[in-house]
Amino acid sequence: MQLEEFNENQFAADLEATLSNMELLSRENALHFIEKGYVVVRQAFPRAMAEEICESTWRWFKDEYDIDRNDPSTWNKRFPGKRIDAYLTYSGGDEVYHLSTQAPRAFQAQVDAVGGTHRFLEGEALAWNGASIANLGVRDDPDWKPAGIKRSGWHKDGWHFRHFLDSPEQGLLTVPIFSDIAPKAGGMHVAVDSVGPVARLMAAHPEGLHPDSIQGSGYLVPVLLEQCSKFEELTGEAGDMVIVHPYMLHRACSNPAAVPRFVSNKSPILREPMCFNRKHDHYSMVELSILKALGVNRLDFQHTREATPIVPPPHRDKSEVTEALKALDGEMQVLADTGVKTPSWAEEFNYSSNAHLGS
């Protein structure tokens, strides 16, 4: 991996090339994304689509959990596998929303973010299903706290692949908002300065990192959080969409407003890995933000290990659990030997730790 000294003029020229290929997102949008790792696209898709998805979700909740949308006592409980009370997910039915025709603003904003339709694996066929994530809320929930370092549940998305600096498996983290979200009403917490720490960690490990290391209890999450100091809560209205950098650390929080909140979490796949040394093509906003975070204009990044899919934790059989634990234990030792150790406070907030490992 070859590093070059960062040149502001070169970055400005690269940014202009990126902007010239955008149709919907503005210069202000792009700069906000590069600085804070996200941008909110207002009225990205029809409010009627949001309402339809919410209705489908409520019907499924009624059938599956006997939840009455008019009776909060039916949802004020901890659902299986969840960290937060009144928090549950719906995987969607047979609905397919073709974004290029049914939500052209949502489509074009994502296209702008990655640098062109051709860079998505799905291309013009980019679509959403009716899946949603519900945070129904518990009135005046004492568990709610402002976003900060010492909180449980922070993670980087992507539990099904080995993570490299250029991983294509998650080109973006796209969050369509299906219901209005006010402050302190279950909006996602984001560490807006986490892209840099994640990028530096990934660049330092061309062998890649096991996904369990950066998921909700991952031992590397607290290491990354200690390099962050800027945290925000995402809010918006039904029909808005938040485009989030795939490196962004984020977490779900409780909803003390008890006004049901519905969003989704989409991960459009890139056709090819990200490239940080483009010679005859423009960079994406995502790539530019990574280069700036690393303090370079060009980066010749090469894997030292094959990029392989990994079975997500909920779907692992016994042998796959054993294999994942063995791989993770080995990685934890390697990083401990290089001085990357989980801080002492982490286990109190349910993160795993490699602090006990020595060289």
Residue 291, pLDDT > 70, answer: yes
Q: Residue 29 and residue 26: Cα distance in Å, rounded?
A: 5
Q: Residue 332 and residue 326: Cα distance in Å, rounded?
A: 10
pLDDT-based confidence at residue 77 (cuts at 50, 70, 90): confident
Residue 278, pLDDT > 80, answer: yes
At residue 178, the pLDDT reads: 99
pLDDT-based confidence at residue 81 (cuts at 50, 70, 90): confident
Task: Give pTM, 2 decimals.
Answer: 0.95
pLDDT-based confidence at residue 310 (cuts at 50, 70, 90): very high
Share of the chain above pLDDT 70, in %: 99
Provide the β-strand partners of residue 41. 241
Write the CB contacts of 315 (distance below 8 Å, at least 6 apart in sequence): none
Max Cα distance, the chain (Å) = 60
The fold for domain 8-310 equals Jelly Rolls (2.60.120)
At residue 119, the pLDDT reads: 97
Average the pLDDT over 152-173 and give the result: 96
At residue 289, the pLDDT reads: 98
Q: Residue 84 and residue 254: Cα distance in Å, rounded?
A: 6
pLDDT tens sequence across 130-162? 999 999 998 887 778 899 999 999 999 999 999
pLDDT-based confidence at residue 358 (cuts at 50, 70, 90): confident
What are the φ/ψ torsions at residue 288 (nearest 5 degrees)? -60, -40
The beta-strand segments (E) located in 207-298 are 231-233, 241-244, 249-251, 261-263
4-13, 41-50, 70-79: range with highest mean pLDDT: 41-50
At residue 142, the pLDDT reads: 78
Q: Which helix (H) or strand (E) holds 318?
A: helix 318-337
Residue 2, pLDDT > 70, answer: no
Q: Residue 172 and residue 162: Cα distance in Å, rounded?
A: 16
Is residue 166 a contact partner of residue 88, using CB atoms and an 8 Å limit? no
CA atoms within 13 A on the CB side of 213: 29
**What residue ranges do the domains of the chain occupy?**
8-310
Q: Residue 177 and residue 260: Cα distance in Å, rounded?
A: 12
Q: What is the average pLDDT value for the chain, to the nearest integer?
A: 95
Q: Residue 238 and residue 254: Cα distance in Å, rounded?
A: 19
Question: Which H, E and C letters describe 98-109, residue by residue?
Answer: EHHHHCHHHHHH
pLDDT-based confidence at residue 280 (cuts at 50, 70, 90): confident
What are the φ/ψ torsions at residue 18 (nearest 5 degrees)? -65, -45
- Of 174, 175, 219, nearest in space to 201 by CA: 219
The angle formed by the CA atoms of residues 215, 239 and 285, to the nearest 5 degrees, is 55
Q: Residue 37 and residue 18: Cα distance in Å, rounded?
A: 16
Is residue 7 a contact partner of residue 297, using CB atoms and an 8 Å limit? yes
At residue 359, the pLDDT reads: 60
| 3-state DSSP assignment of residue 132 | strand
Residue 248, pLDDT > 60, answer: yes
Q: Residue 105 and residue 109: Cα distance in Å, rounded?
A: 6
- Across 310-332, b (16+ Cβ under 10 Å) vs e yields bebbeeeeeeeeeebeeebeebb
At residue 4, the pLDDT reads: 62
Average the pLDDT over 49-58 and give the result: 97
What are the φ/ψ torsions at residue 17 (nearest 5 degrees)? -65, -40
Residue 79, pLDDT > 60, answer: yes
Q: Residue 227 and residue 342: Cα distance in Å, rounded?
A: 12
CA atoms within 13 A on the CB side of 234: 32
